[in-house]
Structure 1
Amino acid sequence: MTYTVNCSILLTELPLLERPAAAKAAGFDAVEFWWPFETSVPSDAQVTGFENAIKDAGVQLTGLNFNAGNMPGGDRGLVSWPARSAEFQDNIDVVAGIGERLGCKAFNALYGNRVDGESAEKQDAIGAENLATAAAGVARIGGTVLLEPVSGAPKYPLLTAEDALKVIARVKAESGVGNVKLLADFYHLAVNGDDVESVIENHAKDFGHIQIADNPGRGAPGTGTLPLGEWIARSRELGYTGHIGLEYKEPQETAFSWAIRERAAR
């Protein structure tokens, strides 16, 4: 199984730039990150420090989020946020540059919360335009923009796979781009009440990425009741060939105990 460790939610006991090496020490060869900077356009030194942490650890960066705003403060993306649309657009070249230098080709664009005082129609129009622009920006390096349903954010409008797929279809119809794909986070889909089995049966071959956490608790696989192993296996059977993103909350000491047991059983 090809796992990639989300170093923005795991190994948080360590400074950010030490986490890739810790993932490598735990037996993983791939990592992914939420946007690791405070601004859409960080300094050259900040970018170089991040890239060196990845390269020095000897791991592959498989996924990177576009700037999603203040995540701890409740923001969930800039894509459809009218007042920060330019900020998102400024982020595209930076993201693509990091991807080009590190060989990363998957970029998660969180759609953004509904904003008071702005119509849903206006936000969705801006969202479609910005997704198309982002898709064009990463297409030059063979990249894919990922669109993700999210749980736990009351004003976030994309809750189910169908919600995201409708946006993806709109972007393709309006701009012709074909490199925007669904990020199937099985935890978020399950918490939001989506029919995960049906989503897998109908769309697995077209998933842009899979992420996992167990429920309840958003903990490591095996700490809850979700049949994550079955869902992953079925997705593989139906044509999904990418990494499985580990995006759960677990203390460093026990973060990968399940993976150690899995390896021992092989």
Structure 2
Amino acid sequence: MTALRFAANLKWLFTELPFEERFDAAAAAGFTAVEYSSPYGFPAAELRRRLDGAGLRQVLINTPGGQPGTPTRNGSACIPDLVPQFRRELDLALEYAGVLGSGLVHVTGGIRPEGVPAADAFATYVTNIGWAAERAAGSGVRLVLEALNQRDAPGFVLTSIEQAAGVVRAVGVDHVRLLFDVYHCQVQQGSVTTRMQELWPLVGHIQVADAPTRTEPGTGELNWRFVFDRIRALDYAGWIGCEYRPANGTLAGLSWLADYT
């Protein structure tokens, strides 16, 4: 079976430190790769220097999003009035991905604005993803799509992982794939490994956190031995993003990794 590879998500892990110091901390903890949602507060060249200095690989970034509480906090891809903004954001994400060497860009879907019918928001999203796929062609970057759960992100444009998979199928190109987030799937729908098996040909990236509190694996309701054995059996060769909120500090919460690496 394929060995599992874990990447530290620097938005969620090592938050005891300023963001710029988290690269070295992740490397010191044994990680060889990182992901994080928003690099845009720093020059891309500076982040690349920190990656190289720590001996880390950049796995994934997100397209830009607004501040917490704003209409674009989870992206702008589904907002009909913001199509030009979405296109600028996608171009910026591709620019950063190129400098950072990130092979994946998560195109964040967005929250449906009040007064906009769900069908209109979804149609905007699908159109924007189609445009993004054309834009990313030949860049060496894969775009990944993720369904957030409606408890944490009420009104998110995608309401199920199957709906996200349907968009991947509709776009129909190899460089648009599914981001399978175990936590969001469990909270929204359950039957994690059954859904993973059914959608496996479309999966381009995996992220993990335990439910119901989004803490590290082993602190909640999921059977992680079963989940990780299933991922191994499917011969997953990509990275698994550790996108969780440590229950009692980052380093104290990393002991679970020894059981699965």
Separation in 1, partners of 2:68, 2:195: 27
Q: How does 1:240-255 map to 2 (within 5 A)?
A: 240-250=236-246, 251-255=249-253
Query: What is the identity, as a one-letter code, of the residue corresponding to 2:18?
Result: P
Cα deviation per residue 1:35-73 (whole Å; 9 max; x = unaligned)?
Answer: 2336xxxxxx72222222222221000111111222465
Contact 1:211-1:244 at 8 Å conserved across structures: yes
With a CA cutoff of 8 Å and minimum separation of 6, indicate the structure with the bigger relative contact order.
2
Q: Determine which of 160, 167, 178 is the counterpart of 1:182.
A: 178
1:212 aligns with 2:215: no
Q: CA deviation at 1:114?
A: 1.0
Q: CA deviation at 1:147?
A: 0.7
Cα deviation per residue 1:148-186 (whole Å; 9 max; x = unaligned)?
Answer: 1112111113232212112223333xxxx3422111111
3-state SS of paired residue (2:158): coil
Structure 1 unaligned blocks of 5 or more:
39-44
Q: CA deviation at 1:195?
A: 2.0
Contact 2:6-2:33 at 8 Å conserved across structures: yes
3-state SS of paired residue (1:252): coil
User: How has the CA–CA distance of structure 1 residues 212 and 58 changed in structure 2, closer, same or farther, with 3 Å as cutoff?
Assistant: same
Cα deviation per residue 1:120-143 (whole Å; 9 max; x = unaligned)?
Answer: 232222211211222233332222
Contact 1:206-1:240 at 8 Å conserved across structures: no
User: How has the CA–CA distance of structure 1 residues 99 and 138 changed in structure 2, closer, same or farther, with 3 Å as cutoff?
Assistant: same
Q: How does 1:57-72 map to 2 (within 5 A)?
A: 57-71=54-68
Query: What is the identity, as a one-letter code, of the residue corresponding to 2:26?
Result: A
For normalisation by structure 1, the TM-score amounts to 0.87
Query: What is the identity, as a one-letter code, of the residue corresponding to 2:207?
Result: Q
* Identity level (%): 32
Q: Determine which of 1, 13, 18 is the counterpart of 1:15.
A: 18
What is the root-mean-square deviation in Å for CA atoms of aligned residues? Answer: 2.0
Q: How does 1:1-266 map to 2 (within 5 A)?
A: 1-37=4-40, 46-71=43-68, 75-151=73-149, 152-172=152-172, 177-250=173-246, 251-259=249-257, 261-262=258-259
Query: What is the identity, as a one-letter code, of the residue corresponding to 1:113?
Result: I
3-state SS of paired residue (2:13): coil
Separation in 2, partners of 1:50, 1:194: 36
Q: CA deviation at 1:241?
A: 1.6
Query: What is the identity, as a one-letter code, of the residue corresponding to 2:89?
Result: N
After alignment, is 142-151 or 127-136 more displaced? Answer: 127-136
Contact 2:8-2:242 at 8 Å conserved across structures: yes
Structure 2 unaligned blocks of 5 or more:
none
Q: CA deviation at 1:16?
A: 1.3
User: How has the CA–CA distance of structure 1 residues 190 and 120 changed in structure 2, closer, same or farther, with 3 Å as cutoff?
Assistant: same
Query: What is the identity, as a one-letter code, of the residue corresponding to 1:56?
Result: G
Separation in 2, partners of 1:119, 1:183: 25
Cα deviation per residue 1:175-204 (whole Å; 9 max; x = unaligned)?
Answer: xx3422111111110011232122122122
Query: What is the identity, as a one-letter code, of the residue corresponding to 1:192?
Result: Q
Cα deviation per residue 1:190-226 (whole Å; 9 max; x = unaligned)?
Answer: 0112321221221224311111001121111111121
Contact 1:33-1:63 at 8 Å conserved across structures: yes
3-state SS of paired residue (1:256): helix
User: How has the CA–CA distance of structure 1 residues 21 and 139 changed in structure 2, closer, same or farther, with 3 Å as cutoff?
Assistant: farther
Separation in 1, partners of 2:237, 2:91: 27
Cα deviation per residue 1:75-116 (whole Å; 9 max; x = unaligned)?
Answer: 211111123322221122222222223321111111111111
Contact 2:29-2:251 at 8 Å conserved across structures: no
After alignment, is 115-124 or 10-19 more displaced? Answer: 115-124
Contact 2:45-2:99 at 8 Å conserved across structures: no
3-state SS of paired residue (1:220): coil
Separation in 1, partners of 2:184, 2:30: 26
